[in-house]
Amino acid sequence: MLEHRFGESQTLRTVGSVEIPLPDDDPDAFLIILNIIHGHLRQVPLQVDLQTLTQLAILVDKYELHERIEVFAGFWFGNLISTIPNCYTDDIPSWTCVCWVFNKPEEFKRVTRLILRHGRGTLTFNELPVPSFVAGEQLPLMHNRPSRREEAIRRIISSLIGHLDDYLENEHCSFECDALMVGALTKRLRAFNILPHRPKSPYTGLSLQDFTHRFRHGMYFPAAQRTSTFFYSHSKCAIPSIDRMLAECEQLSDGLDMADYKTALTLAL
C-alpha cells in the first residue's frame, strides 16, 4: 500500500508519515495477513471458518496479496473444501468469492453450477470481489447476451408453451389423452405463474431445478385411452422431447469455467 500506485505512498513520500484509516477491513482477517507479511507464522491459524476466509479473500484481492498468502490459502481452503454445499444456500456467494480469489477452478465450476441450476434471479455479491460479468454469467464482450440461467429458462418456457399449443391444435393419441396432457401442462405452467402471462427475463422466482423436478421424464404418467365405444385402456403417455430439452438446458448450466473468465478479465483490462 505504501508503494507503487496507492495514494498513501505519495503522502508518505511528501509528508514523511501517513495515517491510513481502514474502516471497511475486517480486523481479525487483517491481523492474520499482517502476521504472514511480517513473518509471525506461528501466530497464523491453519484453519479458519468460511466467514473469516471470505474476509481474507476480500483483503487479498484488495491489496493484491495473492502470492504472499498462497501457501496459507491452500491450508485454509483445503480444510473447508468438504463443507462446500451440494444445494443452494446463503453461503454460495461467499464460496464463489473464495474460489475466484484463491483460483480454485474445479470448486468454482461446482459452486456456479448451483447458481445456474438453483438460482431464482440475478445473484448479487455486494462488496465481495467477484467481477460483475461473472455474477451475470457473461464474458465481458458478451454483455448484451442473456445469462446462461436466463437462456436455459427461456428455452424451457418456449418449449413447454409450444407443446401446449401443439396439443390444443393437433390430435396425437386420442381426444381424451390429448385433453389430459393439455390439462397437465396448463396446471403445471400456471403453478409457475407462466400462464396466462409469460414471464420475462430475468425470470425472478424461477429456477432450472424447479422445471427439472416438475417436468422430468416428459410428464410421464398413465393416461386413459379409448379402445372402443364403451371401453378404455391405460396407455403410458409422455412427451419425450421435454426430457431431451431439459438435458440440453442442464448441460448449458453445468457451471462456469474459471479459465475463460480469468482470460477475458485480463483482456478487458
Are the beta carbons of 156 and 208 closer than 8 angstroms? Answer: yes
Nearest-angstrom CA–CA distance, 22 and 62: 12
Average confidence (pLDDT) over 246-261: 90
Burial of 17 per CB tally in 10 Å (0-12, 13-18, 19+): exposed
Residues 197 and 227 placed together within one structural domain of the fold: yes
Q: Are 29 and 142 part of one and the same domain? A: yes
Q: What does the alpha-carbon distance between residue 162 and residue 9 come to, in Å, rounded to a whole number?
A: 63
Domain-embedded: residue 164? yes
How far, in Å, CA of 222 to CA of 243, rounded?
17
pLDDT > 90 fraction of the chain, expressed in percent and rounded: 57
Q: What digits encode the pLDDT tens for the residues 38-84?
A: 999 999 999 999 999 999 999 999 999 999 999 999 999 999 999 99
The residue ranking higher by pLDDT, 136 or 191, is 191
Q: Report if residue 265 sits inside a domain.
A: no
pTM of the model: 0.81
116 grid coordinates: 445456474
**Domain shared by 140 and 171, yes or no:** no
What's the domain range around 79? Answer: 23-146
CA terminus-to-terminus distance, the chain: 21
Task: Tell me the three-class secondary structure of 56-114, residue by residue.
Answer: HHHHHHHHCCHHHHHHHHHHHHHHHHHHCCCCCCCCHHHHHHHHHHCCCHHHHHHHHHH
Average the pLDDT over each of 32-46, 114-128, 167-181, 209-223 and give the range with the smallest value.
Answer: 209-223
Sign, CA dihedral 34-40-43-48, equals positive
The answer to whether residues 120 and 153 belong to one domain is no
Confidence class for position 14, pLDDT limits 50, 70, 90: confident
Task: Say which amino acid occupies 203.
Answer: Y
Q: Per the structure block, which three cell numbers stand in for 92?
A: 454460495
**Average pLDDT for 219-239:** 55
In this prediction, residues 184-195 reach a mean pLDDT of: 93
Please give the pLDDT value at position 3. Answer: 64
The pLDDT of residue 209: 93
Q: Is residue 268 part of a domain?
A: no
Residue 194, pLDDT > 90, answer: yes
User: Can you tell me the mean pLDDT for 173-188?
Assistant: 86
